[in-house]
């Protein structure tokens, strides 16, 4: 006799699970957010080791030798300041914003700059084809040979590509389109977002790869998906602005490698995003 598959109902806002359907989530209070998901026995992707692959051992705080994180400077001084001085290898950075605000444009420009200074970049897109991304890249500037495009949503295939190419930087656009093949829930669900982020976190920490994740924002202004997504990453950036105006603001709401008191201001032009070094002067002229 075939074994009956077990299922549970998971809140798509906070990740609360229940063996039965509930109209209102008792954890976050949202209505009609419980979705049925099949329980599968899979390995816990959140278990991590050290960068050398060794198991962590308890260590006295006096014996811990702190080391200064190396920083990689991009050509966007506004972005460097918001990140706390540059991109930290092995960090997981989440960038959220409204659709069409310029998240992909910002990361495409950053990818070109990182490739130009000698880094290998893998840009993974689940929303656009490689041809569409190249057309936009040509409009933004020169294209480097160490810049790889990959239109894929399967995390198992993405992990293989990272292992083969061994890039220094990875861009995931967006996390809501990525899926784990051994999880039955649809892309963007709590289970998919949690497990794909855990897989990316493990890749970043064990290989020293800086990974940028694009996250969609809900109408309430928060990043779509469970709140645990923001807790898992090292840095959370919000890219904000009005679609009908050219100015954009980049601010950090979480940063393990720097302050959250800095903001960066950009202006959207035909050739991409241009940083605004003196915003007071610009707003004074427009007044």
Q: What are phi and psi of 8, to 5 degrees?
A: -145, 165
- In whole angstroms, give the CA distance from residue 92 to residue 233: 5
Task: State the pLDDT at residue 72.
Answer: 93
Task: State the pLDDT at residue 162.
Answer: 94
Task: State the pLDDT at residue 2.
Answer: 46
Task: State the pLDDT at residue 49.
Answer: 44
In 120-262, the DSSP E strands lie at 121-125, 147-150, 169-173, 210-216, 235-240, 247-255
Closest-CA residue to 102 (of 255, 219, 245, 210):
245
Instruction: Report the relative pairing of strands 235-240 and 169-173 from DSSP bridges.
Output: unpaired
Task: State the pLDDT at residue 50.
Answer: 45
Q: Tens-of-pLDDT digits for all 287 residues of the chain?
A: 445 567 888 887 777 888 889 999 888 888 888 888 776 655 554 444 444 445 667 888 888 887 777 899 999 999 999 999 999 999 999 998 888 888 999 999 999 999 988 899 999 999 888 888 888 888 887 676 778 999 999 999 999 999 999 999 999 998 989 998 888 778 888 888 888 999 999 999 889 999 999 987 765 655 655 567 888 899 999 998 877 788 899 999 999 998 888 899 999 888 889 988 777 766 665 55
Task: State the pLDDT at residue 249.
Answer: 92
Kindly list the distances between the CA atom of residue 42 and the CA atoms of 45, 99, 184, in Å, as whole numbers in the listed order. 8, 33, 12
Task: State the pLDDT at residue 192.
Answer: 86
């Amino acid at each position: 006799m075939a074994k009956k598959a077990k299922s549970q109902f998971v809140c798509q806002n906070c990740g609360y699970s229940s063996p039965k359907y509930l109209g209102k989530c008792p954890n976050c209070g949202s209505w009609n957010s419980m979705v049925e998901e099949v329980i599968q026995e899979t390995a816990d992707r959140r278990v991590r080791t050290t960068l050398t692959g060794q198991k962590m051992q308890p260590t006295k705080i006096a014996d811990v030798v702190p080391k200064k994180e190396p920083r990689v400077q991009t050509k966007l001084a506004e972005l460097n300041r918001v990140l706390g001085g540059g991109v930290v290898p092995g960090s997981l950075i989440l960038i959220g914003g409204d659709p069409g605000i310029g998240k992909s444009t910002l990361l495409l420009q950053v990818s070109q700059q990182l490739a130009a200074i000698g880094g290998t970049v893998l840009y993974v897109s689940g929303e656009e084809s490689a041809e569409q991304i190249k057309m936009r890249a040509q409009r933004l500037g020169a294209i480097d040979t160490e810049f790889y495009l990959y239109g894929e949503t399967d995390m198992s295939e993405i992990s293989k590509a990272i292992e083969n190419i061994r890039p220094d930087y990875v861009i995931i656009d967006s996390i809501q389109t990525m899926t784990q093949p051994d999880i039955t829930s649809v892309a963007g669900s709590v289970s998919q977002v949690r497990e794909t982020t855990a897989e990316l976190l493990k890749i970043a920490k064990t290989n020293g790869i800086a990974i940028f994740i694009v996250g969609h924002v809900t109408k309430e202004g928060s990043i779509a998906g469970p709140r645990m997504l923001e807790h898992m990453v090292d840095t959370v950036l919000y890219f904000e602005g009005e679609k009908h105006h050219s100015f954009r603001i980049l601010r950090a709401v979480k940063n393990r490698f720097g302050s959250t008191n800095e903001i960066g201001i950009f202006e959207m032009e035909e050739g991409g995003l241009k940083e605004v070094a003196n915003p007071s002067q610009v707003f004074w002229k427009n007044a």
